[in-house]
Amino acid sequence: MSSSVPRLVVAAPSSGSGKTTVATGLMAAFAARGLAVSPHKVGPDYIDPGYHALATGRVGRNLDAYLCGPELVGPLFLHGARGCDLAVVEGVMGLYDGAAGEGELASTAHVAKLLRAPVVLVVDASSQSRSVAALVHGFVSWDPEVRVGGVILNKVASDRHEVMLREALEQTGVPVLGVLRRAPQVDTPSRHLGLVPVAERRAEAVEAVAAMAAQVSDGCDLDGLMQLARSAGALSCEAWDAAEAVASSPPPPLPVPSSRGSAPSTPPGGSAPLDPRGGFAPCTPTGAAAPGPHRPERPRPQAPDGLVVAVAGGSAFTFSYAENTELLAAAGADVVPFDPLRDEELPEGTRGLVIGGGFPEVYAAELSANEPLRKAVAHLAESGAPVAAECAGLLYLCRELDGQPMCGVLDAGARMTGRLTLGYRDAVAVGDSVLAAAGTRMRGHEFHRTAVEPGAGAEPAWGLRTPQRRVEGFVQRGVHASYLHTHWAAQPGVARRFVERCRTS
């Protein structure tokens, strides 16, 4: 596949400027022209990619230099963009905002540089006129390695306002590639963790995306934007491949069931150096040497042999990274989705269970009412089968959530709070589990307004090193439950280990 796929990064001076409206509208507008558009989102956010997928008909994918490492941004991008005519990358927060205390790491600017992609700056022009030129000049000149190729003015009040803005921006030399008027019909509802996911409002979301596409088509120079996208530099890295990533990961030493408090079967750090690149050389500018030793090819995993790994979905569990399930499949699992709101049984032959993030607090009564499935999940966990639960999954495994009975796998209670817990985390596996050997380092993120009491079991899942040192989560029998969201492309051995444990448990 060509590594010169045309691409744009849609950025803004700050959150709330209209990135999602513009990026989603661009995706839908170009898709309506018959182009295959690859949608991407900078950072860990799960919700925007759902709207991107609706706009393009393709899986929305994240590009996170903190979770996966800068060296995987290019390969993961090319994986998502296979066979596409154009890629649109929606940024996160302000253009230069990255991981706290880490400089540019994981910022939109950082990802744009890694992708050698031009940036389109979306500016909320309400309540300003000539000052817009100073703002744009500052963003253009702050980092010479970031190429701002155009501006889209959002929330413009009138024709006269537009004239004033255009005249001011002529002095910056940055072309205006779009002007969008205030349009409340494209607003999408939000709640305690941001936009309401597509899965919960499909019909309304379709209408919102169509409105975004119409507004962008009417107000933006699509031909000019496509020309800018074609100016992106070539990438020298290979596209990421789940099967190759799994095959390149070290064979997973499985934990030996032991009594509480026993020493880990693998010394701390023993499995820590799983290659975060999954066997791929870092993405470097064309003509530069790609560092790292050449890896010999290893046998690929066998095709699925009926080893069913059930993955929770539906309206209550909408948070997942596509690469995680792709890695499970590459490791030999038959990945079967199910909906805990509707299905009263786990998929036939389930040997392992993955429950990702979402909004169980919104559907607590409905989840509780599905007693047959709650009992099935508890029985599976009691049998020692591997169960991986993140955030919403953790809540579902608790004894109760806001007073509603849940699965009772964990002797813990969960409740909604008014406090937002949000941020990247640097974690280390405290002991052996179905996901990681003791000492394995992972990076993840937390994003919730709930609390679990106690916050950690007798055998915690992770020791968090940032923003303060603490342990959290639960490891018992085959269960690994935690608030931490992780991207398994950073450690493909996680999927391989999980599937191997499914096979042997």
Catalytic residues: 391
Round to whole Å and give the CA distance between 126 and 176: 16
Alpha carbon dihedral 207, 212, 215, 218, in 10-degree steps, equals -100
Tokens matching residue 31: 């898709």
Round to whole Å and give the CA distance between 221 and 213: 13
> Of 348, 333, 375, 346, which is closest to residue 501 (Cα–Cα)?
333
Identity at 346, one-letter amino acid code: L
Roughly what angle, to the nearest 10 degrees, separates helices 47-56 and 19-32? 20
Round to whole Å and give the CA distance between 311 and 460: 23
Q: Cis peptide before 293, with omega less than 30 degrees from 0?
A: no
Which residues fall within 8 angstroms of residue 106, CB to CB, at 6 or more apart? 42, 43, 64, 65, 66, 67, 92, 98, 99, 424
DSSP string, 209-244: HHHHHHHHHHHB-HHHHHHHHTTPPPB-SPPP-HHH
H helices present in 43-99, as ranges = 47-56, 70-80
